[in-house]
Homo-oligomer: A and B are copies of this chain.
Amino acid sequence: MSSLNGTTNGGMGVTENQTEFLDRLYTMMINDVFIGSRKREARVVNFKHPKELEKTIDLQLNEDETKDEDLLKICKDVIQYSVKTGHPRFFNQLFGGLDEYSLGGAWLTEVLNTSQYTFEVAPVFTLMEKTLLGKMLQLIGFTNGDAIFTPGGSIANMYALNVARFKQFPDVKRTGMQGLPHLCVLTSEKGHYSLKKGVALIGIGIDNLYSVKADSKGRMDPEDLEKMILKLQSENKRPYLVNATAGTTVLGVYDPLDKIADICKKYNLWMHVDGAWGGSAVLSKKMKYLMKGIERADSMTWNPHKMMGAPLQTAAFLTRHKDLLPQCHSANAQYLFQQDKFYDVSYDTGDKSIQCGRKIDCLKLWMMWKAKGDKGFEKDIDNLFDCAQYLAELAEKRDGFELIQKPECTNVCFWYIPPSLRGKERTADWWKSLAKVAPVIKERMTTNGTMLIGYQPDGERVNFFRMIVSNLEIVKKDMDFVIDEIDRLGKDL
């Protein structure tokens, strides 16, 4: 490129040898993480206790600089002792996997380091976000809606709480909660805890978040929902939002969206669907029946960094109500959203957000989607549901495994009952003993590094495993491995 300016820069700028550090780091990341940590025979984690790990890695910050050589050694340690979430046997959270295209997109995002607020500094990403969110809106039937990427699903759920309140009480933006009716929110007892954090933050208060009963499978009970609405209204409280869940965090069940939509319509309540985890079912012709009714909701949370395998953070808030996001959130900062710019300023979308600077979250998912197409995603999602089904069948057949219930989403929840507890009467003491099994097996799988699976109690149920099938590279053999490995780790208990 020829010189665009009249000055002579006297050789300022980057020279080739300044990339040596990055070149060596790149090679390390490819070999040790992208290739190395995704091999099934590799360890998922090299566990050290906090105090031990503190002594192992040189994390201290000093007055003086550190040589590249030493820094690269530390990077090696960072990799060595980090959990390999891209490993095909990382089943611990609602995310995982390591797709080359989304990783490429994430890297490209970092080197282009900009903010999503204006077309001025993010021209490509402004258009890309529009395309991508448009696609997602179309898939859930919010054809004339609006959407935005948020820093995680919890904040997307808070968006719902806030815009729904604004839609029904537009003065709240100006006057706050003063003089508003006694607002409250309804969610299933199995709904995500971010609703709690959300109502606390926006000034509604946790006492005003009401738990609707779930049925025996963990789905919100529409009859109880209606009963609670009537009860709250009779107490002069004002329910304004119902949070339904598509893919609950632990059991992975889908609330009955159509029935909830009927009730929300009847009582004129905002219907939000927290589909952070299970919303991706809409990508599959076979599985999208689980999401039936989503097109009737007012808003949805959907995290492609969960079941779609995009890197953290890729989380969207979507609403059927066009223009509501800017109305609710705009502050019209003059220094950023100047109205006398020389381009069409309707492309400056930053004022829709509760943030100012906003990380570019679209490229990594866009890249993945462009690479594999709708069909590729459909195949992947179908495979995840198939594997979960297969694992559930294995658990049903195998001695010592007891399925909590047949999976709807790709969470497979089960107890492992070690030989010493099998065939015994299930007394309170028996359950107390069983509650201690999962933590011990978890410790063993962690120190062995062979796989990672979460456990938790849930309501009356003592600790059980919650196995998450989310990594797009998972195959049925991995499910066989899970069963064998738990048995191996726990059979002496």
Contact = CB atoms under 8 A, between A and B. Distances in A.
Contacts of A68: 371
B107 A25 contact: yes
Interface stretch (A261-269, A292-300, A443-451): A443-451
Contact of A85 (B81, B113, B193, B473): B113
Given A12-B40, A53-B124, 10 more contacts: A7-B477, A12-B88, A13-B38, A22-B103, A61-B366, A93-B121, A107-B107, A177-B178, A193-B331, A338-B455
- List 6 tightest A-B contacts by C-beta distance, closest first: A203-B203, A176-B205, A151-B151, A177-B177, A106-B110, A342-B443
A358 B450 CA distance: 25
A208 interface: yes
B66 A370 contact: yes
19 contacts: A7-B481, A12-B40, A12-B477, A19-B100, A61-B135, A61-B370, A71-B370, A85-B113, A85-B114, A113-B312, A151-B313, A151-B355, A151-B358, A152-B357, A172-B205, A176-B177, A176-B199, A178-B182, A193-B332
A1 interface: yes
A78 B124 contact: yes
A126 B50 contact: yes
A173 interface: yes
A65 B376 contact: yes
A4 interface: yes
A391 to B, nearest CB: 15
Given A41-B1, A41-B9, A30 B22 contact: yes
Nearest to A63: B374
B82 A125 contact: yes
A128 B178 CA distance: 42
Contacts of A40: 5, 7, 9, 12-13
Nearest to A29: B111
A5 B356 contact: no
A493 interface: no
A17 to B, nearest CB: 11
A369 B61 CA distance: 7
Given A61-B132, A127-B57, A329-B197, A107 B356 contact: no
B371 A101 contact: no
Contacts of A446: 120, 342
A85 B121 contact: yes
A239 to B, nearest CB: 14
A115 B153 CA distance: 13
B177 A203 contact: yes
A189 to B, nearest CB: 12
Contact of A34 (B81, B111, B122): B111
Nearest to A65: B373
B335 A454 contact: yes
Interface residues of A, number: 187
Contact of A14 (B9, B34, B123, B452): B34
A372 interface: yes
Nearest to A28: B108
Interface in A125-145: 125-128, 131-132, 135
A357 B250 CA distance: 15
Contacts of A41: 1-5, 9
Nearest to A192: B356
Interface in A197-234: 197, 199-208
A409 interface: no
Contact of A206 (B53, B174, B312, B333): B174
A374 B62 contact: yes
Contacts of A202: 201-203
A318 to B, nearest CB: 16
Contact of A127 (B50, B121, B359): B50
Interface in A462-486: 463, 466, 473, 475, 477, 480-481, 484-485
A74 B370 contact: yes
Given A104-B25, A123-B53, A439 B335 contact: no
Contacts of A125: 82
